[in-house]
C-alpha cells in the first residue's frame, strides 16, 4: 500500500479567497474557465478573475505551486483590482474551506498585458502558494 500525500488544492484555496470578495467597491467573480456568451464573447459582470496553476515544486515536507490570476475589467480597473486582490491574499497561515495554506507570496507583480478588446483590459500576476499535506 502506498501512503500518498494529499496537499490542499492551491487553485481552490485562491478561489475561496477571491470569489465574491469586494475590491475597489465591486464584487469579484472568480472562475477556472472564462465565462462566455453564446457568441464566444467574454461575459460579465466585471471584474472577473481567472485562476489557474502552472506547476511548481514539491519539497520534502511542503509544496509550492505557482498560481496565475488574470483579471478582466474595463480600463485601469483590471490592474487596480488585481493589486487589491494581491494585497488581500498575500500572507502567512491562511485558513480556507479548501485547506490550510502556509503562505502566499507574490512572484510577478500585477501588470496590464495586451488584450484584444475595445472595452476591457487584462491584468496578470503570479503567486507562490505554499502548503503541506492535509
Round to whole Å and give the CA distance between 65 and 51. 12
pLDDT tens per residue, the chain (134 residues)?
A: 445 678 899 999 999 999 999 999 999 999 999 998 878 788 889 999 999 999 888 888 899 999 999 999 999 999 999 999 999 999 999 999 999 999 999 999 999 999 988 899 999 999 999 999 87
Structural domains of the chain sorted by starting position, each given as residue range(s) with its CATH number in brackets = 10-131 (3.30.2000.10)
The span from the CA of 80 to the CA of 77, in Å, is: 5
Q: Look at residue 1 in the predicted model and tell me its pLDDT.
A: 46
Q: Please tell me the pTM assigned to this model.
A: 0.93
> Would you state the pLDDT for residue 3?
57
C-alpha closest to that of 19 among 44, 51, 42, 43: 51
Question: What contacts 24+ positions apart, CB below 8 Å, involve 38-45?
Answer: 42/72, 42/117, 42/120
Amino acid at each position: 500500500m502506498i501512503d500518498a500525500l494529499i496537499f490542499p488544492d492551491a487553485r481552490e484555496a485562491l478561489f475561496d479567497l477571491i470569489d465574491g470578495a469586494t475590491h475597489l467597491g465591486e464584487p469579484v467573480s472568480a472562475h477556472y474557465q472564462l465565462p462566455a456568451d453564446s457568441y464566444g464573447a467574454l461575459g460579465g459582470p466585471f471584474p472577473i478573475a481567472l485562476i489557474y496553476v502552472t506547476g511548481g515544486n514539491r519539497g520534502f515536507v511542503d509544496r509550492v505551486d505557482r498560481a496565475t490570476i488574470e483579471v478582466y475589467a474595463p480600463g485601469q480597473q483590471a490592474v487596480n483590482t488585481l493589486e487589491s486582490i494581491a494585497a488581500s491574499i498575500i500572507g502567512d497561515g491562511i485558513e480556507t474551506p479548501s485547506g490550510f495554506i502556509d503562505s502566499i507570496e507574490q512572484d510577478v507583480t500585477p501588470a496590464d498585458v495586451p488584450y484584444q478588446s475595445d472595452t476591457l483590459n487584462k491584468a496578470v500576476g503570479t503567486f507562490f502558494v505554499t502548503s503541506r499535506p492535509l
